[in-house]
Amino acid sequence: DTAVSQTPKYLVTQMGNDKSIKCEQNLGHDTMYWYKQDSKKFLKIMFSYNNKELIINETVPNRFSPKSPDKAHLNLHINSLELGDSAVYFCASSQVGLSSGEQFFGPGTRLTVL
Amino acid sequence: AQKVTQAQTEISVVEKEDVTLDCVYETRDTTYYLFWYKQPPSGELVFLIRRNSFDEQNEISGRYSWNFQKSTSSFNFTITASQVVDSAVYFCARQPPPTAGKSTFGDGTTLTVKP
Question: How far away is chain B from the Cα of A43, in angstroms, using its nearest Cα?
Answer: 7
- Segment B1-18, tens digit of pLDDT: 689 999 999 999 999 999
Per-residue pLDDT of chain A (114 residues; tens, 9 = 90+): 679 999 999 999 999 999 999 999 999 998 899 999 999 999 999 998 888 888 877 778 999 999 999 999 999 999 999 999 999 999 999 987 666 688 999 999 999 999
C-alpha torsion sign, points A65, A70, A71, A74:
negative
Q: Which residues of A touch B47 (CB under 8 A)?
A: 102-104
How far does the CA of residue A37 sit from the closest CA of chain B (Å)? 10
Backbone dihedral region of B22: left (phi > 0), alpha (psi from -120 to 50 degrees) or beta? beta
Inter-chain residue contact A107 with B44, CB threshold 8 Å: yes
Q: Which of A100, A104, A105, A110 to mutate to test the interface with B (most CBs of B within 10 A)?
A: A100
List the single residue in B39, B47, B104 with the smallest CB-CB distance to A102: B47
Contact at CB, B103 and A100, closer than 8 angstroms: yes
Q: Cα(B114)–Cα(A78) distance, rounded to whole angstroms?
A: 40
Query: A101 touching B, CB under 8 A?
Result: yes
Q: Comparing C-alpha atoms, which of A35, A40, A33, A72 is closest to residue A54?
A: A33
Sequence-distant (≥ 6) Cβ neighbours of residue B48 within 8 angstroms: B35, B36, B37, B38, B64, B77, B90
Amino acid identity for residue B52 in this structure: N
